[in-house]
Amino acid sequence: MNVALTFDAEHPDQMVADPVGNAVAILDQLRSSDVQATFFVTGVWAKSYPCLVARIVEEGHLLGSHGFWHCPFGNLTHEAMRLDLERSRETLVDVSGVDPHHWFRLPQGQGVYDATIRHAVEAEGFHHVHWDSGAEDWRPGIRPLDLTRQILSAVETSQITSQVVLLHSWPEPTPNVVSSIIASLQGAHTFVRLDELRPEEVPYWATRSRQDGSDNREMVIKNES
């Protein structure tokens, strides 16, 4: 099975001791394991940490857009979505020299079942890239052991030929699980970037099951607002 590790890189929505150090630790572990991943980066994160974006590209990871502000697209007008996508793409090109092409992930996954949002995104040449396994590393208090178990269970019980795993660059538990996940799965599975998957293996617009719990997170965010 192909396993695509994906990391959403945005400024934290919670207090975190060292979000930059967490991102560095993730990159260190990927490099030491010789594994390439995919990073969906917001424009403001790229402007804040250009050296990290440069390192993502230099070390062979795939760079995608995560919007400019990380604002849920359900809160934006059609024109605002267009401008957000345009500004994010221009920023990533300016900072990294790399065009994210059509690789894009909706902030918080919100709007994945909304036809209006889908049309707006696709009009700009992008497709939302969803996920198969969403380890809730963003949830306060979650333990690294629980994160590791979530991901390993999802991969080992999967009935499909690939697994796209969602993680984030900033939560404190995440750097503590990357190496153990890779060590546990390497050999029996192959780690790939998203652009190494066949088109039918990429879960665009949540084309596969809702086993990841993304709807639950969207509901929590909406209820908190």
What is the domain count for the chain?
1
CA–CA separation, 97 and 48 (whole Å): 16
Cβ neighbours of 216 (radius 10 Å): 12
For 168, phi and psi rounded to 5 degrees?
-130, 155
- DSSP-derived letter for residue 3 is E
**pLDDT surpassing 60 at residue 200:** yes
Taking the alpha carbons at both ends of the chain, their separation in whole angstroms is 39
Count of residues making up the chain: 225
Q: What is the pTM of this model?
A: 0.91
CATH of the domain at 214: 3.20.20.370
Least confident interval from 49-63, 133-147, 204-218:
204-218
Number of CB atoms found within 10 A of residue 48's CB: 13
CA contacts within 13 A on the Cβ side of 45: 30
Cα–Cα distance measured from residue 92 to residue 46, given in angstroms and rounded to the nearest whole number: 7
Residue 74 has pLDDT above 80, yes or no: yes
Residue 121 CA to its chain's centroid (Å): 17
Q: pLDDT tens digits for 33-56?
A: 999 999 999 999 999 999 999 999
| DSSP 3-state of 163 | strand
User: 95 lies in which domain range?
Assistant: 2-224
Portion of the chain with pLDDT greater than 70, in percent: 92
pLDDT tens for residues 117-135?
999 999 999 999 999 998 7
